[in-house]
A and B are shown apart, each in its own frame.
Chain A
Amino acid sequence: MENEKRIAENELFTFIDHDSIESERIIAPRYSYWRSVLRVFFRKKSNWVFIALFVLLIGCSFIIPIFAPYSPYENVTVPSTYHLSPAKAMSYFGGGGLKWILGSGGTGNSIFYGIWSSARTSLVLAVICAAINMTIGIIVGALWGYSKGVDQVMLVIYNIIANVPYILVVTVLMYVIGSGFGSFIFVFTLTGWLGIAYFFRTQVMIIRDREYSLASRCLGTPTLRIVSKNILPFLVSVIVTLLASELPSYISLEVFLSYIGAGLSANVNSLGRMIQEAQTAFLIYPWEFWPPVAIASAITIILYVLGQNLADASDPRTHM
Chain B
Amino acid sequence: MKKYLAKRIAFSIFSLLVVVLTVMTLVYSLINRTVIFQTDDAWNKRSNNDRSYYEYTMYQKYGYLEFVNYKTFLAQKYEAKVGSNYTADKAYSADSAIIQNEKKYLDNDSVKEFISTYENEGYKIVYLKPILYSNGKAKPGGTGYLLATKERHMVVRLWDYIKQIIKVESKNDVQDPTITERYVRWEKDPYNGFYARVGMGTPHKYQLYFDSRFPFIHQNKIHLNLGISFTKYRGQEITDVITQPTGDLKTVRTQYPSKIGTDEYVDTAIDFHKLSWNYGELTEADKANYPDKYTVAGYQRKGLSMLENSFVIGLIATVCAYFLGLPLGILMARKKDSLVDKIGMGYIIFIIAVPSLGYIFLFAALGTTVLNLPYKFANAQVKILAYVLPTISLALPQVAGLMRWMRRYMIDQMNSDYVKFARAEGMSESEIFNQHISKNAMIPIVHGIPGNILGCLIGAIITERVYSVPGVGNLLTTAINGHDNGIIIACTVFYTSLSLISLILGDLLMAKVDPRITFESKAGR
Residues of B within 8 A of A256 (CB): 355-357, 461-462
Verify A172–B26 contact, CB threshold 8 A: yes
- Besides A163-B15, A174-B480, 11 other A-B contacts (C-beta < 8 A): A160-B15, A163-B19, A164-B495, A164-B496, A167-B461, A168-B496, A256-B461, A260-B465, A260-B474, A283-B369, A293-B361
Residues of B within 8 A of A259 (CB): 357, 462, 465
Shortest Cβ distance from A262 into B: residue: B480
The segment out of B114-122, B291-299, B346-354 that lies at the interface is B346-354
Q: Which of A160, A172, A262, A305 contacts B18 (CB 8 A)?
A: A160
The segment out of A7-15, A18-26, A140-148, A247-255 that lies at the interface is A247-255
Verify A165–B368 contact, CB threshold 8 A: no
Of A160, A163, A259, A261, the most chain B CB neighbours within 10 A belong to A163
Are A168 and B476 also in contact (CB < 8 A) when A163-B19, A289-B361 are? yes
**Could you give 29 example pairs across A and B, Cβ below 8 Å?**
A163-B16, A164-B492, A165-B496, A167-B461, A168-B491, A171-B480, A172-B26, A172-B480, A172-B488, A172-B492, A174-B480, A176-B27, A248-B353, A251-B355, A252-B356, A252-B357, A256-B355, A256-B356, A261-B481, A279-B357, A283-B365, A293-B355, A293-B358, A296-B358, A297-B355, A301-B349, A301-B353, A301-B354, A303-B353
Verify B477–A260 contact, CB threshold 8 A: yes
Verify A252–B15 contact, CB threshold 8 A: no
Total count of chain A residues near the partner, CB < 8 A: 38
- Count of A-B contacts with CB under 8 A? 116
Verify B476–A171 contact, CB threshold 8 A: yes
Asked if A112 lies at the interface with its beta carbon under 8 angstroms from chain B, I say no
Shortest Cβ distance from B485 into A: residue: A175
* Secondary structure dominating the interface of B: helix
A248 to B357, CA, bound (A): 13
Verify A255–B355 contact, CB threshold 8 A: yes
Interface residues of B (CB under 8 A from A): 11-12, 15-16, 18-19, 23, 26-27, 30-31, 349-350, 352-358, 361, 365, 368-369, 375, 458, 461-462, 465-466, 474, 476-477, 480-481, 488, 491-492, 495-496, 499-500, 503
Verify A159–B11 contact, CB threshold 8 A: yes
Q: How far is the CB of A312 from chain B (nearest CB, A)?
A: 13
Verify B361–A282 contact, CB threshold 8 A: yes
Residues of A within 8 A of B355 (CB): 251-252, 255-256, 293, 296-297, 300
A200 to B23, CA, bound (A): 28
Verify B357–A176 contact, CB threshold 8 A: no
Verify B350–A301 contact, CB threshold 8 A: yes
A286 to B365, CA, bound (A): 10
Asked if A304 lies at the interface with its beta carbon under 8 angstroms from chain B, I say yes
Residues of A within 8 A of B11 (CB): 159
Q: Which of B27, B365, B481, B500 contacts A172 (CB 8 A)?
A: B27
Verify B15–A176 contact, CB threshold 8 A: no
Are A304 and B361 also in contact (CB < 8 A) when A159-B15, A160-B15, A262-B477 are? no
Shortest Cβ distance from A293 into B: residue: B358
Residues of B within 8 A of A301 (CB): 349-350, 353-354
Residues of A within 8 A of B26 (CB): 172-173, 176
Interface residues of A (CB under 8 A from B): 159-160, 163-165, 167-168, 171-177, 245, 248, 251-252, 255-256, 259-262, 275, 279, 282-283, 286, 289, 293, 296-297, 300-301, 303-305
Verify B23–A171 contact, CB threshold 8 A: no
Residues of B within 8 A of A172 (CB): 23, 26-27, 480, 488, 492
Residues of B within 8 A of A293 (CB): 355, 357-358, 361
Verify A165–B18 contact, CB threshold 8 A: no
Residues of A within 8 A of B349 (CB): 301, 304-305
Residues of A within 8 A of B477 (CB): 171, 260-262
Q: How far is the CB of B284 from chain A (nearest CB, A)?
A: 50
Verify B352–A297 contact, CB threshold 8 A: no
Verify B31–A175 contact, CB threshold 8 A: yes
A316 to B369, CA, bound (A): 49
Verify A260–B461 contact, CB threshold 8 A: yes
Q: How far is the CB of B23 from chain A (nearest CB, A)?
A: 6
Shortest Cβ distance from B499 into A: residue: A163
Q: How far is the CB of A280 from chain B (nearest CB, A)?
A: 10
Q: How far is the CB of B368 from chain A (nearest CB, A)?
A: 7
A260 to B369, CA, bound (A): 25
Of B30, B465, B476, the most chain A CB neighbours within 10 A belong to B476
Residues of B within 8 A of A248 (CB): 352-353
Of A177, A259, A283, A300, the most chain B CB neighbours within 10 A belong to A259
Q: How far is the CB of A265 from chain B (nearest CB, A)?
A: 14
A249 to B465, CA, bound (A): 21
Residues of B within 8 A of A159 (CB): 11, 15
